[in-house]
Chain A
Amino acid sequence: MSALDATLVAQPLRVDVAASRSIGRRILSHAGRSTEFRIGFALFTLLALAAAFYPELSGIDPLKMNVRARLLPPLFVGETWSWAHPLGTDQIGRDMLVRSLVGLRYSFLIGVASVAVTLLIGCALGTIAGYFGGRTDTVVMRITDAQLSIPMIILAIAVLGVSRPTIPAIILVLGLSNWPVYARVMRSMVMAERGREYVRAAQVSGATHPRIILTLLVPLLVPPLLFTSVLDVARMMIFESTLGFLGLGVQPPTPTFGNIIADGRKYLLNAWWIATMPGVFLCLTLTSINLIGAAFERARNTIHGGA
């Protein structure tokens, strides 16, 4: 009797455990099983650890000039290479590896911060448009259309070129450039949820609109969106380094990928490594983030398609 009870009770419970985990956890564990996610994650961890610790541990100042060690080639190239500077040095003897890693820090932090701004604006406007509908919806969507039709790089270049490019200004401009995409996705998801029973029940029982949005809709809909935004971090990092390359990003002497490459371009013929090495770093970082992001996106599509 008791054994029968146990199986009867245990069976539905076991099913529940698999299905009741949050969507976020399911996407995470699904993505974690794919090869590309593992490669990307390993590469990313390696680069992140290097960027976090190497500049301080090596004790090399990315801004310190050393004229005697100028234009040293990277390892195993030419005759003057040394172990002290694995990626060589630039025209005034600054170590390229440390400069690239410090650049990586700035690039990544700006990328993450601007995606956060994008998510904040996009989700807020999309939720409001989708939840309230009607005229609010029309106005928000027309603004999104208008913003989508301006090539954002022109706007970014115009604003940063005419004013002074500081880090908060760069984050704001990058963040403002991409929100319409999120606003659209969020709007359609909120519109689909708006008519569901649990939302109507909350409305009937007297919950205020902000309360419904913040306690019911946002915790349900935003986490899956976070997985897709990983790809945008990579996009923003490219955008940031492009601005830096044009001289509109973080200003020298702070090293960033963009301004190192722009600088190294002048020495391309006699010291090709100044312009190319930071690019290799940037490219590796972006590949790792893109692999992680693509794995997340696939997992999200499978789970949303299957569930």
Chain B
Amino acid sequence: MFVLSFLTRRLAQGAVIIFLVSLLIFTLLRVVPGDPVRLMAGGMAPEALIEQIATQMGLRDPIPVQFGRYMVRVVQGDLGQSFVRPANGASTGGATFNDTTRGERAKVLDLIFDALPMTLQLAALALLFALVFSSLLGIAAGLHPGGIADKLAFTVSSVFVSLPNFWLGIVLALLLSVKLGWLPAIGYGGFSYTVLPALVLAVELSPVLIRTLSGAVAAQMSESYVAVGHVRGLSPSRIVAAHALRNASVPLLNLLGVQFSSLLGGVIIVEYIFDYPGLGLLTINAVLQRDFPLIQGIAIVTSAIFVLINILVDLAATSIDPRLEY
């Protein structure tokens, strides 16, 4: 029952947030200069034709009218069609305005859901790498504050946080792929193509995880229940694994929810460097082609994912630690 009321409240808040996000991105895209119709029709199209296409597509209506029309469709599950991408996958950027070979334009929703599984695979592998690495280092550091592991964790996280992901991506591609030939780097042709981008993302994610985890473990180890555990005759490994880590994982979970948007930022850059066909590459191309419906669709879908992840994180946190309130 509590769960139900919690869910309805959070989903309602989430709907408000998604609405605000779409309003913001919709307005921004229309306020900043740059005419998408010019790109769609090609540089040689006469001015009159551009105005005609723009009026037909409703791009000359007042912004509130356009936004209302867009939101009505979004609520019905229709994110519109891409401005420039045809359904058959070929690129139309720079084609002439009277090109008859141009086919039906692709649906935004299809484009996003084609790219999303690829990005999820990349993000999941990156999270796995980051979690394994930072739990090893973070827990060791948290068990002995001020010790060698703590110093190592501090240095590693200071260096990792200072590595720009695009530069690291290039250097790793040069070393592991070009010089050593261990891993493939560019494009996608199987699972092994995910490893290198995931490594770069993991390096970007781990500093915050290490610091949070070592801080949380250190805080839990000074709690009285740990001392009582020794008195009760529990082995130190059992106290750490079954008691302290369980409590220390709550801040980590909350962090993962908040880190989602920085993970997504990293995904965009990493996919761009490695030409990995996911949501990030789609975003960059959409922006460079001024593909307004696609940019809006991506913003809405990602903020919806963000809202959902944070609800899940809170649910998981309360099931780990029942003292937390919904």
Contact = CB atoms under 8 A, between A and B. Distances in A.
A234 B29 contact: no
A154 B258 CA distance: 16
A234 B159 CA distance: 12
Given A146-B17, A245-B166, A246-B284, 14 more contacts: A36-B154, A36-B158, A149-B21, A150-B24, A150-B302, A153-B268, A155-B24, A155-B28, A158-B28, A161-B290, A238-B165, A272-B174, A275-B167, A290-B162
Interface stretch (A120-128, A199-207, A208-216, A281-289): A281-289
17 contacts: A145-B13, A146-B24, A149-B303, A151-B302, A152-B265, A154-B295, A158-B29, A158-B299, A161-B287, A162-B287, A163-B33, A234-B161, A241-B166, A257-B164, A282-B164, A286-B164, A294-B154
A242 interface: yes
B264 interface: yes
A265 interface: yes
Nearest to A291: B158
B21 to A, nearest CB: 5
Contacts of B295: 154, 158
A287 B155 CA distance: 10
A220 interface: no
A261 B162 contact: no
A13 to B, nearest CB: 35
Nearest to B302: A151
Given A162-B33, A283-B163, A294-B158, A151 B171 contact: no
Contacts of A161: 287-288, 290
B287 to A, nearest CB: 4
Given A157-B284, A234-B162, A276 B302 contact: no
B234 interface: no
A64 interface: no
Contacts of A142: 16, 20
Nearest to A35: B151
A222 interface: no
Interface string B271-285: 010000000000110
Ranked 5 nearest A-B pairs via Cβ? A286-B162, A279-B167, A153-B265, A146-B20, A161-B287
B83 interface: no
Interface of A: 36, 142-143, 145-146, 148-155, 157-159, 161-164, 234, 238, 241-242, 245-246, 257-258, 261, 265, 268-269, 272, 275-276, 279, 282-283, 286-287, 289-291, 294
Contacts of B20: 142-143, 146
Contacts, number: 135
Given A149-B307, A162-B33, A290 B158 contact: yes
Interface in B13-65: 13, 16-17, 20-21, 24-25, 28-29, 32-34
Contact of A149 (B17, B288, B298): B17
A214 to B, nearest CB: 30
Contacts of A291: 158
A150 B164 contact: no
**Residues of A contacting B: mostly:** helix
A148 B159 CA distance: 26
A148 B261 contact: yes
Interface residues of B, number: 46
A282 B159 CA distance: 12
B153 to A, nearest CB: 12
A90 B170 CA distance: 17
Nearest to A237: B164
B109 to A, nearest CB: 17
Contact of B268 (A157, A238, A261, A279): A157
Contact of A155 (B13, B25, B34): B25
Given A162-B29, A234-B162, A246-B284, A151 B170 contact: no
B80 to A, nearest CB: 16
Interface in B95-124: none
Q: Counting chain A CB atoms within 10 Å of each CB, which of B16, B33, B166, B290 scores highest? A: B166
A150 B29 contact: no
Given A155-B25, A159-B28, A282-B167, A290 B161 contact: yes
A151 B17 contact: no
Nearest to A40: B158
Contact of A154 (B154, B171, B299): B299
Given A154-B299, A290-B161, A294-B154, A265 B170 contact: yes
Nearest to A279: B167
Contact of A162 (B32, B161, B163, B268): B32
Most buried by B among A36, A146, A158, A159: A158
Contacts of A257: 164
A287 B162 CA distance: 5
B178 interface: yes
Contacts of B306: 149, 151
A150 B299 contact: yes
The interface centre, meaning the residue of B13, B33, B158, B299 with most chain A CB atoms within 10 A of its CB, is B158
Contacts of A157: 268, 283-284, 287
B183 interface: no
A284 to B, nearest CB: 8
A154 B28 contact: no
Contact of B167 (A163, A269, A283, A289): A283
B87 interface: no
B164 A287 contact: no
